[in-house]
Amino acid sequence: MRRAGLLLLLALLVLSCRPSLRGDARALSQRGVETGTRLAGLYDSLAGDTVDAWELTAFRRGFMRLPAPEADARASFEAQYKALRARARLARRMVTIYESLGRLASYDTADEIGAAISGLEADLEGVVESPLQEAPRRDVLDAIIKGIASWKETRELRSGARLIEQTAVAVDALFRGERELYRDIAADRADKYRQIATELVQAKEVVSSSMVDRVLSAYGLAWPDVKAPFQDERAIAGILEIIDARSRTFEAQSEDETTAVSRALSALLREHREIRGGD
């Protein structure tokens, strides 16, 4: 009867822990680190775009020989830069916490208890007059204690993941709420590149045959003098079309990265929900 009770306790302990939880938590940690790193990279990139847009605006003004304005937009650009840097810091903190979750999931509690179990064994051997029909078996107690440790670990992992999930949901909401702004910042920078390239070509200031050389070289042909700016209006028109087409590709690449981050955040929340589903 007593032995049956002991085995029942053991069974309950074993059933109460989910062996895959540690693996799931490690996977969640990995995804969280990757997502946070990617998010931080996007914010850093947008902060860089902000600086670019400011500098290139100044270049354009100078190139067009326009006078300096009485009050420039530096303060506005700086405020935008600071807002993006704050978000990048938030994303990096997110990386740190998922790294911690990973350490928590990787900590092998069961291995740590080996020594303690050996001590217990000695104590149990000291119990001489056991009413059990057979002497207490080490493997039974070993399993019980490992079960208890695993159960405790499971609780800790779940509570850790739950805590992080709340903030991950908020970071995702922030990202979605501001996504249009991110797209605009990247587009503004791409616009500046395109406008400056276009204006330089139109001004016949550009020395570049590389855009057409790849076409010509396929037929063994070459632009006659690579050091001379484009003068021919048809060549200029063609180059402007290439600039326009490429600028759309740059914008699409930026949009792709924003979409990828958005998907990564969704996948992260999905993994959180899956772990929570095991509660």
Partner 1 sequence: MAQTDLQIYRALRKLFRTIDENVDDLALHCRTFEQSRQLVEEWTQAQKNYIDARNRIFDSSDGKVKKLYEDLGTAQDAVEKSLRNLKKIERVLDQIGDAVRMGTSLVALGAV
Binders in 172-211 for partner 1, by CB under 8 A = 174, 177-178, 180-181, 184-185, 191, 195, 199, 202
Cβ contacts of 213 within 8 Å, gap of 6 or more? 222, 223, 226
Query: Would you count residue 19 as binding partner 1 (CB under 8 A)?
Result: no
Query: Would you count residue 148 as binding partner 1 (CB under 8 A)?
Result: yes
Cβ contacts of 43 within 8 Å, gap of 6 or more? 84, 85, 87, 88, 91
Q: Which of 85, 82, 94 is nearest to 170 (CA)?
A: 94
Please say which residue, 11 or 79, places its beta carbon nearer to partner 1: 79
CA angle 40, 41, 45 (to 5 degrees): 120
Amino acid letter, residue 39: L
Please say which residue, 153 or 271, places its beta carbon nearer to partner 1: 153
Closest approach of partner 1 to the CB of residue 216, in Å: 29
The number of residues that bind partner 1 (CB under 8 A) is 76
Query: Would you count residue 228 as binding partner 1 (CB under 8 A)?
Result: no
Closest approach of partner 1 to the CB of residue 73, in Å: 4
Separation of alpha carbons 174 and 170, rounded Å:
6
Query: Would you count residue 93 as binding partner 1 (CB under 8 A)?
Result: yes
Cβ contacts of 257 within 8 Å, gap of 6 or more? 42, 45
Burial of 186: CB neighbours in 10 Å, binned 0-12, 13-18, 19+: buried
By CB under 8 A, name the one of 51, 59, 107, 250 that touches partner 1: 107
Query: Would you count residue 96 as binding partner 1 (CB under 8 A)?
Result: yes
Please say which residue, 21 or 209, places its beta carbon nearer to partner 1: 21
By CB under 8 A, name the one of 77, 193, 223, 250 that touches partner 1: 77
> 252 is written with which tokens?
């699409």
Span of 15-23, 127-135, 205-213, 254-262 interacting with partner 1 by CB under 8 A: 127-135
Interactions with partner 1, residue window 24-63 (CB under 8 A)? 57, 60-61
Per DSSP, the residues of 227-270 read TSPP--HHHHHHHHHHHHHHHHHHHHHHHHHHHHHHHHHHHHHH
Please say which residue, 113 or 212, places its beta carbon nearer to partner 1: 113
By CB under 8 A, name the one of 14, 27, 124, 143 that touches partner 1: 124
CB atoms within 10 A of CB 33: 18
Span of 66-74, 222-230, 231-239, 254-262 interacting with partner 1 by CB under 8 A: 66-74
Query: Would you count residue 73 as binding partner 1 (CB under 8 A)?
Result: yes
